[in-house]
Amino acid sequence: MIREITIGQYYDEESVIHRLDPRVKLVATLVYIISIFVVNNIIGYAFVALFLGICVALSRVPVKFIVKGLRPVMIILLITIAFNMLLTPGEILWQFAVFKISREGLKAGATMALRLTLLITGSSLMTLTTTPNNLTDGMERLLKPLTYIKVPVHEIAMMMSIALRFIPILLEETDIIMKAQMARGADFESGNIFKRAKALVPLLVPLFVSAFRRANDLAMAMEARCYRGGDGRTKMKPLKYAGRDYIAYAVIWLFLAGCIALRILL
């Protein structure tokens, strides 16, 4: 059941998008997010959706897999739509007691839903096509200028990569512990909220114990290899731009320009 969550997961595949430099993908995602909020008409959204569609096709990640990742955020999406629909004042289309649906509300709700869907799909495409290690590497390089104002960029990046690395491990561990307790008759799915919260104790205690043990082991292993932070540390595989990365940069900036043009012209 826990394995179903696909947001932030890496999907291993050989594709142009997978091979792009992580810095390009980070910048592109940022530009893409800006562009979603730049466009404000139907043709604009169609343009963004088309761009996203091409990227998904290029990445060779199955559409089914991406849609599955959208499922957990569906509730947030529905709440957003409902609030926008019911609470935006304007020309009233339908009314029942205190609930009113206005034309403006409907439009705002639809826009919001569209934007959120594009946003989540786009950013999950980045995590689906980039390994966590590459991602933090890229982030570390992009944020490097901040070291001049004493921001510990390397340490932050290291913490992030460790945290990301541990997500699948802890998920798997949670799965095993749940099963081990279910084998002893534990019930995680029924009962009222207090009963359920209490039922989590047999799950959380072993999970915490193991997380601390793993953290301890990791710290020991890092010290045994003389890890001492980022100063003067070199990379085994330094990030290097290739031809396709420059092309990607050109494409993404052209895309933003296109979005701006669509907003001004239409």
Partner 1 sequence: MTLEHVNCIYSADTNHSVHALKDICLNIDDGEFIGLIGHTGCGKSTLVQHLNGLIRPTDGLITYDGQDIYGKGFNRKELRGKVGLVFQYPEHQLFENDVFADVCFGPTNLGLDRKEVELRAYEALHAVGFPDEDFYSSPFELSGGQKRRVAIAGVLAMKPRILILDEPTAGLDPKGREDILELISRLHSENNMTIILVSHSMDDVAGYAKRLIVMDHGSIAYDDVPQEVFRNVRELEAMGLALPEVTYIMRTLKRNGYDVDDTLTTIDEAVDAIVDLYKSRHS
Residue 180: name the closest of 210, 213, 216 by CA.
210
Nearer to partner 1, 65 or 246 (CB): 65
Distance CA 237, CA 160 (A): 18
Does 129 participate in binding partner 1 (rule CB under 8 A)? Answer: no
Could you say which DSSP state residue 131 is in?
A: -
Least distance in Å: CB of 69 to partner 1? 12
Residue from 8, 90, 168, 202 touching partner 1 (CB under 8 A): that is 202
In DSSP terms, 102 is beta-bridged to 92
Residue from 64, 150, 235, 240 touching partner 1 (CB under 8 A): that is 64
Nearer to partner 1, 86 or 211 (CB): 211
Q: How many residues does the chain have?
A: 266
Does 91 participate in binding partner 1 (rule CB under 8 A)? Answer: no
Does 72 participate in binding partner 1 (rule CB under 8 A)? Answer: no
Work out whether the CA dihedral 27, 31, 32, 33 comes out positive or negative: positive
- Among positions 204-243, residues that touch partner 1 (CB under 8 A) are 205-206, 209-210, 213
Residue from 42, 92, 176, 215 touching partner 1 (CB under 8 A): that is 176
Least distance in Å: CB of 14 to partner 1? 10
Least distance in Å: CB of 75 to partner 1? 23
Residue 230: name the closest of 149, 119, 123, 140 by CA.
140
Site string for partner 1, 8-27 (x = CB under 8 A): ---xxx--------------
- Half-sphere CA count of 38, side-chain side, radius 13 A: 20
Nearer to partner 1, 180 or 261 (CB): 180
Residue 32 · residue 252 · CB < 8 Å: yes
Distance CA 138, CA 23 (A): 5
Nearer to partner 1, 106 or 128 (CB): 128
| Beta carbons within 8 Å of 99's beta carbon, 6+ residues apart | 86
Residue from 66, 181, 248, 259 touching partner 1 (CB under 8 A): that is 181
Q: Tokens 């043709």 correspond to what residue?
A: 43
Instruction: Count the site residues for partner 1 by CB under 8 A.
Output: 26
Least distance in Å: CB of 166 to partner 1? 17
Least distance in Å: CB of 131 to partner 1? 14
Nearer to partner 1, 19 or 213 (CB): 213
For 242, the 3-state DSSP assignment is coil
Q: Tokens 């999970």 correspond to what residue?
A: 207
Distance CA 180, CA 29 (A): 41
Residue ranges binding partner 1 (CB under 8 A): 3, 11-13, 62, 64-65, 173, 176-177, 179-187, 201-202, 205-206, 209-210, 213
